[in-house]
Chains A and B, each alone.
Chain A
Amino acid sequence: MRQSIRAAIRLVLLLGLAAGATGCASVEPWVKPYERQYFADIVMSAERDPVAVSYLNHVFEAREGARGATGSHGGGCGCN
Chain B
Amino acid sequence: MDPARRLLLACCLSLSVPGVAVAVATPGSAAPDFSLAARDGGKVRLADLKGQVVMINFWATWCGPCRQEMPLLAQLNTKYEPLGFTLLGVNVEPDSAAAVTWLKGMPVTFPILFDTDSTVAGSFGVEGMPSTVFVDRKGQVRYIHQGYKPGDEARYADMIRSLVKE
Q: A interface vs B, CB < 8 Å?
A: 11, 14-15, 17-19, 21-22, 25-26, 32-37, 40, 77-79
CA distance A75 to B18 in the complex (A): 29
The chain A residue sitting closest to B62, CB to CB, is A79
Number of interface residues of B (CB under 8 A): 26
A18 adjacent to B62 (CB under 8 Å): no
The majority secondary structure among interface residues of chain A is: helix
A17 adjacent to B12 (CB under 8 Å): yes
The majority secondary structure among interface residues of chain B is: loop
Of B37-45, B81-89, B126-134, B149-157, the stretch lying at the interface with chain A is B126-134
A18 adjacent to B60 (CB under 8 Å): no
Q: Which of B13, B17, B64, B126 contacts A34 (CB 8 A)?
A: B126
Q: Which of A21, A33, A40, A79 contacts B128 (CB 8 A)?
A: A33
Q: Which of B13, B18, B131 contacts A26 (CB 8 A)?
A: B18
How far in angstroms is the closest Cβ of chain B from A37?
5
CA distance A21 to B16 in the complex (A): 5
Besides A18-B11, A18-B15, A26-B18, 10 new A-B residue pairs in contact (Cβ under 8 A), listed by A number: A18-B13, A18-B16, A21-B16, A32-B118, A33-B126, A34-B60, A35-B92, A36-B129, A37-B94, A79-B63
A34 adjacent to B12 (CB under 8 Å): no
CA distance A36 to B126 in the complex (A): 12
A33 adjacent to B129 (CB under 8 Å): yes
How far in angstroms is the closest Cβ of chain A from B71?
19
